[in-house]
Structure 1
Amino acid sequence: MGSFFLKNTHIAIIGDIKDSRKIANRSEVQSRLKMVLDGINHGYDDDIASKFIITLGDEFQGLLCEGSNTMKIISEIEMKMHPIRLRFGVGIGEITTEIDKEMSLGADGPGYHKAREAISYLKENERKKSTYSADIKFETESGNDVPIRLVNTILVLMTVIKDSWSDRQWEIIGDMFGHQDTQADAAKRLGIRQPAVQKSLASGKYYAYCDALDAIGEALEGIRRRDG
């Protein structure tokens, strides 16, 4: 997949909260979002070119220089913010301005343009309600549409899986995703029996979801830090 990416490629991520004006406790949600993003900045420091920050109250952005953990980062934000629904526009392309590790606001270039294009598409598609849409969309400046179409098709299928999860499944799956250990360990943390964890994961197609997530990560491995 290396030839898919242009020189000096980064991954720009723009996210926002769905239906934020309908949320009664917006200040609490924004505080929670800031805490989640701070955790991402700390936990994925090696992947981040410019830290995730809240930019417009209900919108946030960050810049990655390593591609393989892109979906893990997005999924972690999603799961820690549940039941708040988010959407993500992801742009793969060059950044033409100087990159500040501490402040992604002000950075510009085709990567961010494509991220904005992607999130605008999601908003418009939701408004029209014309087709089933994912919560995440990728766009690239490379001109090679086939790989990105495959990624976006996988994302639609992943959204279908997520939309089937109950609140309890979100809790169990979020625990498994966050700790990456065994069903028995998850059961102990959640105060339930291991068969209940297994049943919830199976009905929620958890392992298929993880396989899809890993497949996207492998597709993005061509984006790596270029020091020097």
Structure 2
Amino acid sequence: MDALKLRASSVALIGDIVDSRTAPDRQALHDRLEHVLDETNARVLAQDPATITLGDEFQGVYSTLGDALAASFRIRAGLHPMADVRFGLGRGAVSTLDPRRGIHDGPAYWAARDAIETAKERAGQAQSRTSRTAYVSPEDEPGHVAAVQAALDCLDYMVGSLSTTSRRILGGLMEGDTQQDIARREGVSPSAVSQRMRRDGIGVALGAMTTLAGLP
């Protein structure tokens, strides 16, 4: 019972690599995932840092939905273009079943599991094939959950529609790089980066990520 009360309301994040079995080098993908999770844990405050749990699946626990989403944004950007990622987020209580091994359970995980299954199911439908992120929360008002999900659907569509170059530009901006830094790295002019940002809606996507990362 004490473990259940330890985190009365947290946000669990469950992620898995999309089509990981088709990866040409699964060891390299695993190593890259470990590196990206380490970098994300260094930048996003977590109650339980994101760690690989089994094969291509990982999970973490955060105090706020915004922190959990910020972690998902960084993980997805860090793995591109090697792999894409699917995320399920759920709000609720978290219990510790085995402190020594770091095994957790509880409503937040159950909601996150339902969410990732929803994201997977929606990605299999033509009208929502870009879906990568879903949020489930019995604790929030249904209208709030629906609004968050609508924003995530739009963001998934925008990011999923970007070219590899535009995804790299977005990733650089997420890391705080200037347009000049990105231009030098891409071998183009700063004006070319600026034009691509306007044309592809990169600034809009970045703004949406910033707003969502601030959610309680």
TM over 0.5: yes
Q: Distance in 2 between matches of 1:206 and 1:125?
A: 24
Q: Which residue of 2 aligns with 1:34?
A: 34
In the alignment, structure 1 residue 116 sits paired with structure 2 residue 105: no
* Pairing partner for 1:139 from 119, 136, 145: 136
C-alpha RMSD of the superposition: 2.0
- Segments of 5+ residues of structure 1 without an aligned counterpart are 1-6, 222-228
Structure 1 counterpart SS, 2:165: helix
For 2:180, the equivalent position in structure 1 comes to 184
Task: Calculate percent identity across the aligned residue pairs.
Answer: 29
Q: Is 1:18 the counterpart of 2:18 in the alignment?
A: yes
Cα–Cα, structure 1 residues 166 and 196, in superposed 2: closer, same or farther, change >3 Å?
same
Counting only pairs closer than 5 Å after superposition, residues 75-154 of structure 1 correspond to structure 2 as 75-83=73-81, 84-97=83-96, 104=102, 106-127=103-124, 129=125, 131-133=127-129, 134-142=131-139, 144-154=141-151
Partners in 2 of 1:131 and 1:144 — Cα distance? 26
**Matched residue, 2:4:** none
Q: Distance in 2 between matches of 1:206 and 1:99?
A: 43
Unaligned 5+ segments in structure 2 are 1-6
What residue number does 1:208 align with? Answer: 204
Q: Distance in 1 between matches of 2:189 and 2:140?
A: 50
For 1:193, the equivalent position in structure 2 comes to 189
Asked whether the equivalents of residues 41 and 50 of structure 2 are also in contact (C-alpha less than 8 Å), the reply is: yes
Deviations 1:171-197, CA, capped at 9 Å, x for gaps: 22211211x243123223433210111
Further displaced range: 131-140 or 80-89? 131-140
Q: Which residue of 1 aligns with 2:54?
A: 56
Q: Distance in 1 between matches of 2:156 and 2:212?
A: 14
Compared CA separation, residues 199 and 162, structure 1 to 2 (3 A)? same
Q: CA deviation at 1:130?
A: 5.3
The residue matched to 2:128 in structure 1 has which SS? coil
Contact 2:136 2:145 in 1 (8 A): yes
What SS does the aligned partner of 1:97 have? strand
| Residues 103 and 34 of structure 1, relative CA distance in 2, 3 Å threshold | farther
CA-to-partner distance for each residue in 1:150-205, whole Å, 9 max, x for gaps? 01101111112112211111122211211x24312322343321011101211221
Q: Is the 8 A contact 1:111 1:141 kept in 2?
A: no
Match of 1:158 among 155, 158, 161: 155
Q: What is the TM-score of this pair, normalised by structure 2?
A: 0.88
Q: Write the distance in 1 (CA, Å) between the matches of 2:120 and 2:66.
A: 26
Alignment partners' CA distance in 2, 1:199 and 1:62: 37
How far 1:143 moved relative to its partner?
5.1
The structure whose RCO (Cα within 8 Å, separation 6+) is larger is 1
Contact 2:11–2:62 (Cα < 8 Å) also in 1: yes
Is the CA contact 2:12–2:68 (under 8 Å) kept in the aligned structure 1? no
Question: TM-score, structure 1 length as denominator?
Answer: 0.83
- What does residue range 1-12 of structure 1 map to in structure 2 within 5 Å? 8-12=8-12
Q: Are the aligned partners of 1:89 and 1:136 in contact in 2 as well (CA < 8 Å)?
A: yes
Question: Contact (CA 8 Å) 1:50, 1:99: kept in 2 or not?
Answer: no
Q: Show the counterpart of 1:224.
A: none
Which residue does 2:3 correspond to in 1?
Answer: none
